Amino acid sequence: MIEVDEIDTRFLRRLKSEFDESHLACFQCGVCSASCPVIEIEASFNPRRIMKMTRLGLKSRVLSSDYIWLCSMCLLCEERCPQGVRIPEVMTALRNLAVEEGYIPEPMRRIRSLLAEGGRLYPIDDFTAEERIDRGLPEVEAEPEFVKRLAGGVKA
């Protein structure tokens, strides 16, 4: 059931400006969902449902949904969509908006924290600097400062 006060017209206008209303071409045929490999792993993932909620302007439902983070960006839905809707682009925009609005799943927060603290998700400790040189491997910055700055600049 959808309550009228859930519909956010500013959200709709923002999406229209992002996609030149191309996402509105979706007529809910279901080809995207039938093509999606993520559904093989997570049966409740449904790109068609996300597109429907987006078109209805259900901002908080869409942005707080874990499902926008599951899209693998494989492009199968886009290649097969009879209307040419660029669903992976919509998912990316929804993820960006979710971050702006503070809807960030806990695993993503942890990843951001690790990157902000050390510049990497995993420490590089297989080889010392000398061993890398001996093996002809390039030097690796221990804690990449640019990654730490990027991850530290993201609002959480």
The full set of domains in the chain, from first to last, is 4-101 (1.10.1060.10), 106-152 (no CATH)
Mean pLDDT of 109-115: 87
pLDDT score at 156: 45
Cβ neighbours of 46 (radius 10 Å): 18
Express each pLDDT in 81-103 by its tens digit.
Answer: 999 999 999 999 999 999 989 99
* 60: Cβ contacts below 8 Å, ≥ 6 apart: 6, 8
Chain-centre distance for alpha carbon 152: 18
> What was the pLDDT predicted at 52?
93
Helix axes 9-19, 87-101, angle to 10 degrees: 130
How crowded is residue 16: how many other Cβ atoms within 10 Å of its Cβ?
Answer: 13
Q: Is the pLDDT of residue 154 over 70?
A: no
The per-residue pLDDT for range 19-47, each reduced to its tens digit, is 766 677 899 999 999 999 999 999 999 99
**What is the per-residue DSSP string for 72-105?**
----HHHHH-TT---HHHHHHHHHHHHHHHT---
Residue 125 pLDDT greater than 60, yes or no: yes
Q: What pTM does this model have? A: 0.76
Identify the band that residue 153 occupies on the pLDDT scale cut at 50, 70 and 90. low
